[in-house]
Amino acid sequence: MLLPLFERLEASAMGEAVRGSLWLFPVVEAFHLVGLAVIGGAILVVDFRLLGLGLRNHPVSRLARDMQPWVIASLALMVASGIPLFLSEAIKCYYSFAFWTKMTSLVFAVTFTFTLRRAVAGAPDGRFSPVWNRAVGLTSIALWSTVGWGGRWIGFSG
């Protein structure tokens, strides 16, 4: 049912342009990886603080607020660069377990980040128990790591 859509997407002008260019795919992928690095850093700073690792003199809520623009900007960069990467190999993605793992994890990671994690990280220190903070931090790290792992796996799969 989705295969005809993926075939049309890959045959799009953008898909053909990226696929047909010697340098366009690696340049776009470089921006995608920069976005991943930035979002990874912004997420990890807050998650490590939720875990009680480092920056103990900084309230979690302040760190979360300070990192929010970086998370949003890097997520926008990753989506903007991910679309042409996807269009250049949509049929490969259709058949790729790694792609579906990444996309599923991305939906869960973004939803978790902007709902439960935001509520816990944005709350005054002491509102949630340390166990709850650690659970949220570990869940966030696991979700975003799966996104990155899935994306890297796409590059190495058939």
Contact status, residue 46 vs residue 121, Cβ threshold 8 Å: yes
- Do residues 59 and 111 make contact, with C-beta atoms less than 8 angstroms apart? no
What is the tally of structural domains in the chain? 1
Give me 12's structure tokens: 């799009």
Name the region of 152 (left: φ>0; alpha: ψ -120 to 50; beta: rest).
alpha
Q: What residues make up the domain containing 57?
A: 3-156
The pLDDT profile of the chain, 158 residues, written as one tens digit per residue, is 899 999 999 999 999 999 999 999 999 999 999 999 999 999 999 999 999 998 888 899 999 999 999 999 999 999 999 999 999 999 999 999 999 999 999 999 999 999 999 999 999 887 888 899 999 999 999 999 999 999 999 888 75
State the Cα–Cα distance between residues 83 and 150, nearest whole angstrom.
16
